[in-house]
């Protein structure tokens, strides 16, 4: 195996930070960064800038836009009434044959895709389900909190003795994400820390546990059952933030943590 050169690493460092590389390339880039101060600096810069851009957040749409769009759709709706949708009927003649063919094709594709799926994807999908379930469960109860406090110096010590690691606790009230408190949860067959932040009327659960991955990575945005999820690894801790909050703002929270 060849050692990686700077020019190659240059192109890959961003994808490395975004966790978009296969395991082998990822290992090579990590090794190169370890040996090359210039690329280490580049990686640090890319990571920092990535956080800075995320912190900008979405440019907010003016409030009247939603009403304007609704109005235009309503207008268009009455236009559409007078135009029957023709193209769909053309298919009906031998549609069952087509449907059967499509079904067979899709089955084949699915089988192929399943075979190709790496264990990491499978893990991620499983984790998505688990953290979403934990988030929803927390909202079904009277309170998602075992300790209600906006003070990080109260919340952080509360975890001592309850977990075998020390989670990151920050009060981000100044940035519009006030800390509501925390609780313990059980995800991936282990105890995890769950911090609860609020954003307007939305509740955000941020789950944390020690990561098997020593390398910082992410963030990755996922959507599961309408919930937005952002996951990343930082300082040996895996983070999963789940909420019905929009992706842009969830990403802002990620950049602050």
Partner 1 sequence: MLYDGKEMTDRARFERLALPHMGAAYNLAFWLLRSRSDAEDAAQDAYLRAYRGFANVQGEDVRPWLLKIVRNVAFRKLNDRKRATNVISFDAAMSDRVSGEPAAFQVADEAPSAEDLVIGAGEQETVKRALYALPPVYREVIVLREIEAMSYREIAELIGAPIGTVMSRLARARAELRETLTRMKTKDANDAM
Binding site for partner 1 (CB under 8 A): 10-15, 18, 20, 42, 45-46, 49-50, 52-62, 65-66, 68-70, 72-74, 76-77, 80-81, 84-85, 88, 219-221, 223, 230, 246-248, 250-251, 254
For 141-238, where are the alpha helices, taking DSSP H only? Answer: 152-159
Q: Give how far the C-alpha of residue 248 lies from the chain's centroid of Cα atoms, to the nearest Å.
A: 11
Least distance in angstroms from the C-beta of 194 to partner 1 = 21
DSSP one-letter string for 93-151: GGHHHHHHHHHHHHHHHHHHHHHH--HHHHHHHHHHHHHHHHHHHHHHSS-S-SEE-S-
Which residue's CB is nearer to partner 1, number 42 or number 203? 42
Which residue's CB is nearer to partner 1, number 184 or number 247? 247
Least distance in angstroms from the C-beta of 69 to partner 1 = 5
Least distance in angstroms from the C-beta of 28 to partner 1 = 15
Least distance in angstroms from the C-beta of 119 to partner 1 = 18
Which residue's CB is nearer to partner 1, number 134 or number 241? 241
Which residue's CB is nearer to partner 1, number 80 or number 101? 80
The answer to whether the bond into 223 is cis (omega within 30° of 0) is: no
CA-based nearest residue to 217, from 11, 26, 9: 26
Which residue's CB is nearer to partner 1, number 64 or number 153? 64
Separation between Cα atoms, residue 156 and residue 158, nearest integer Å: 5
Least distance in angstroms from the C-beta of 169 to partner 1 = 23
Separation between Cα atoms, residue 174 and residue 160, nearest integer Å: 26
């Amino acid at each position: 195996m060849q050692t990686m050169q700077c020019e190659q690493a240059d192109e890959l460092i961003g994808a490395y930070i975004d966790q978009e590389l296969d395991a082998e390339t990822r290992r090579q880039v990590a090794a190169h960064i370890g040996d090359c101060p210039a690329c280490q600096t580049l990686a640090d810069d890319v990571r920092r800038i990535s956080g800075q851009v995320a912190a900008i957040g979405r440019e907010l749409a003016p409030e009247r836009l939603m009403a304007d769009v609704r109005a235009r759709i309503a207008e268009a709706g009455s236009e559409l009434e007078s135009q029957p949708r023709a193209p769909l009927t053309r298919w009906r003649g031998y549609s069952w044959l087509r449907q059967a063919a499509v079904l067979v094709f899709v089955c084949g594709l699915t089988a192929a895709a399943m075979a190709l799926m790496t264990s990491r994807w499978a893990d991620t999908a499983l984790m998505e389900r688990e953290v979403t379930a934990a988030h929803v469960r927390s909202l079904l109860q009277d309170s998602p909190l075992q300790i209600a406090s906006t003070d990080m110096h109260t919340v952080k010590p509360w975890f001592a003795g309850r977990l075998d690691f020390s989670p990151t606790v920050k009060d981000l009230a100044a940035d519009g994400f006030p800390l509501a408190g925390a609780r313990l949860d059980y995800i991936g067959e282990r105890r995890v820390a769950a911090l609860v932040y609020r954003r307007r009327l939305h509740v955000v659960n941020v789950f944390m546990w020690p990561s098997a991955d020593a390398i910082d990575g992410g963030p990755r945005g996922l959507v599961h059952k309408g919930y937005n999820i952002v996951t990343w690894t930082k300082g040996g801790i895996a983070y999963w933030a789940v909420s019905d909050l929009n992706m842009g703002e969830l990403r802002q929270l990620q950049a602050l943590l």
